[in-house]
Structure 1
Amino acid sequence: MTVAVVTDSTASLDPDDAARGGITVVPTTVIIGARVYTEGVDVTSHMIADALTDSVPVSTSRPSPETFQAVYRALASTGADAIVSVHLSSKVSGTVDAARLAAERVDVPVHVVDTLQVGVATGFAAGCAARSAAAGASPESVAEAARRSAESARVLLYVDTLEYLRRGGRIGRAAALIGSALAVKPILTLEDGVVTPLEKVRTSSKALARLEALGIEAAQSHDGPYDIGVLHLASESVAMSVAQSLARTLGRAEIAVDEVGADIGAHVGPGMIAVTVSAR
């Protein structure tokens, strides 16, 4: 049986990595000012960072059910017997709902996985699903591989300001920090699919040091192999420094650093640094 794996562009997967894993990435829509763009096609994270810095309105939109339908049907027509569709948290986006609606409208069986995660944690889950599919696992087992990865994931976010999360309605439980946002540099995480404050630190340098320490703790909590990655928006040098420090401590040759996708970037703002760890 051939099981195809689908995810969305918020997973921040490198296109080459997605292609090597046989993962189909469905793009989200990003609106900058009055112009509409397709993530991964004609919009970059730098464009998002520049727009946010210049106070140009930025918003995002999930893929439509019709878009998912077209993708699922195309995969079925090229030999997929079943599809596992792995997406970001349903508590911050309607993408999972769109995928489920599409799944009901196609003849091929589609297993939709709500990772209750964001960013590369979703990408890691899709990667686990793809490896399981390549090994010949059943659709149910492929979906379970994605869920296990997502459930094990630890997402740690440093943001310069909570303002972009507030504007985009993705702030979740971190709303409790708004009153003191100017006095602290928050470290956030996801709990049950919702953005949640983890710690409040007084300066950027201390917050980044704490982010590294928490990332090391998360990695060292795994008895077996794990995935780890660093994402950023318009802050490559800082992200590289964090990744190099993590790699030295964890005994890794290197840790991948990528710029976050345009959709996620629109909600976290320039200066965001994220460390994500999940079991393989």
Structure 2
Amino acid sequence: MSRTTSSKVAIVTDSTAYLPPSARARHGIDVVPLTVVLGDRALEEGTEISARSLAEALRERRAVTTSRPSPAVFAERYRAAAEAGAEGVVSLHLSSEISGTYDAAVLAARDAPVPVRVVDSGAVAMALGFCALEAARTVSEGGSLEDAVAAAEKRAEGVSAYFYVDTLDYLRRGGRIGAAQKLFGSALAVKPLLQLVDGRIELLEKVRTASKAIARLEEIVVEKAGDAEVDVAVHHLAAQEKADQIAEHLRERVPRLGELHVSEVGAVIGAHTGPGLLGTVVSLK
């Protein structure tokens, strides 16, 4: 059975990958937006609501929820890819433990006009973004549909994501963190460090002050990277200066640093973490 050739494989991901615009454009990656519901308005992430508008709404304690794209939205993207000449699609999405986006993509893939391989990255933000970039690079170098899937899955196995939040309140409201773990942040008035474990957000450590938590976030990246060749991303929500500072320190401290991206998360992740979020992603190459 012949394998789909590189020029005929389309790469699709979702807006929670927070890919740098230049990288997205360079690799021709199609991004499907999730939806943020602000009051009675449903807004597409990345085009109809900015991270800054979201942060302002959260500070005002306005009701904010999020929702996945519909299967119909994915079906249209897969159809458009086929009409543009694609003979196969790799569709990579945020953890199915966090969102129903993966499930919607799987439903749409069943009736797509070309083979669609849907990948649950078990991740979010650039932990997902690095997987999408790896799939796209594989395709650009002549890899098949199967090669691109394998490359993305390998990246997913070697990616780690860590987050600092000022409070667990937003995650608690959205049901994104376990009941027992909720108690730690509020009852002990600590600054929580979180990590992705098997696609879920878990409490990693409790730190007494924000400055110590941010220093520890940086230290964890250095420890995780070790002497390996890694790509790193630093994310934030309404905390650009702190994110830039972390990135500058990591440039000096990670010995075999490849790509380093700094970006503000979008409204979907921001709705569940709140302003002041700082996050780091380490991806083994």
Unaligned runs of 5+ residues in structure 2 are none
Which amino acid in the other structure matches residue 182 of structure 2?
Answer: I
What is the alpha-carbon distance in structure 2 between the residues aligned to residue 20 and residue 89 of structure 1?
25
- Determine what percentage of the aligned residue pairs are the same residue: 50
Structure 1 counterpart of 2:108, from 95, 99, 102: 102
| 8 Å Cα contact 1:11-1:261 kept in structure 2 | no
| 1:184-199 aligned within 5 A | 184-199=190-205
Aligned to 2:240: 236
**Any gaps of 5 or more consecutive residues in structure 1?**
none
What is the CA-CA distance between 1:253 and the residue it aligns to? 9.6
Q: How many residues align?
A: 276
Amino acid at match of 1:258: S
Structure 2 match to 1:260: 265
Partner of 2:64: 58
Alignment match of 1:111 (pick from 106, 117, 129): 117
Name which of structure 1's ranges 36-45 and 92-101 shifts more when overlaid on structure 2.
36-45
- 2:139: which partner in 1? 133
Paired residue type of 2:237 = L
TM-superposed deviation, 1:116:
0.5
Letter in 1 for 2:243: A
Equivalent residue in structure 1 for 2:276, among 271, 274, 278? 271
Question: What does residue 92 of structure 1 align with?
Answer: 98
Please state whether the residue corresponding to 1:256 is helix, strand or coil: strand
| Alpha-carbon distance, 1:105 to partner | 1.2
Matched residue, 1:249: 253
Q: What corresponds to 1:120 in structure 2?
A: 126
Contact 1:247 1:254 in 2 (8 A): no
Matches within 5 A, 1:172-191: 173=178, 175-182=179-186, 183-191=189-197
Whole-angstrom CA distance in 2 between matches of 1:85 and 1:10: 13
Distance 1:226 1:242 in 2: 16
Aligned counterpart, 1:164 = 170
Q: Which one of the candidate residues 28, 39, 50 is aligned to 2:34?
A: 28
Q: Name 1:73's counterpart in structure 2.
A: 79
Q: Distance in 2 between matches of 1:160 and 1:243?
A: 19
Q: Check if 1:149 corresponds to 2:138.
A: no
The two structures have a TM-score, normalised by structure 2, of 0.93
Query: Which is further off, 68-77 or 137-146?
Result: 137-146
The 2-side partners of 1:42 and 1:247 are apart by 34
Normalising by structure 1, we get a TM-score of: 0.95
Label 1:132 to 1:254 Cα distance change in 2 as closer, same or farther (>3 A): closer
Whether contact under 8 Å (2:238, 2:264) holds in the other structure is yes
Contact kept? 1:219, 1:228, Cα under 8 Å: no
Task: Spell out the pairing of 1:193-208 with structure 2 (5 A cutoff).
Answer: 193-208=199-214
Deviation of 1:221 (Å)? 5.4
For the residues of structure 2 that align with 1:254 and 1:119, how far apart are their CA atoms? 15
Question: What is the deviation of 1:138?
Answer: 1.5
